Amino acid sequence: MKSLVVKRSIVIGGHKTSVSLEQAFWQAFKEIAILRNMSLSELAMTIDAKRNGNLSSAIRLFVLEFTRNQTEAARDATAARPANAA
């Protein structure tokens, strides 16, 4: 699996900024934006408002947290099923 960093420009609050992410993070970021019916810029703006470090790192951590939450929800749903359910 390649982990090349891809640099892209995003407009946040009317200002153009560049974000450098590995391709897998760009793909996950796009998918999350689609799930939330948001543009990449809108989602980046919500992350930007809450971040402590640089934006690229904040997006990676956001994607990681989203993925962990999805995994936990799936695990909880599986655990809630009766043992004899298929």
Give how far Cα 80 sits from Cα of 19, 30, 33, 71, 76, Å: 40, 30, 29, 14, 6
pLDDT in tens, 6-33: 999 999 989 999 999 999 999 999 999 9
Closest by Cα among 17, 22, 28 to 4: 22
Q: CA nearest 21: which of 64, 69, 75, 65?
A: 64
Q: Are 47 and 36 in contact (CB under 8 A)?
A: no
Q: What is the pTM of this model?
A: 0.82
pLDDT at 85: 59
pLDDT in tens, 56-67: 999 999 999 999
Residue % of the chain over a pLDDT of 90: 72
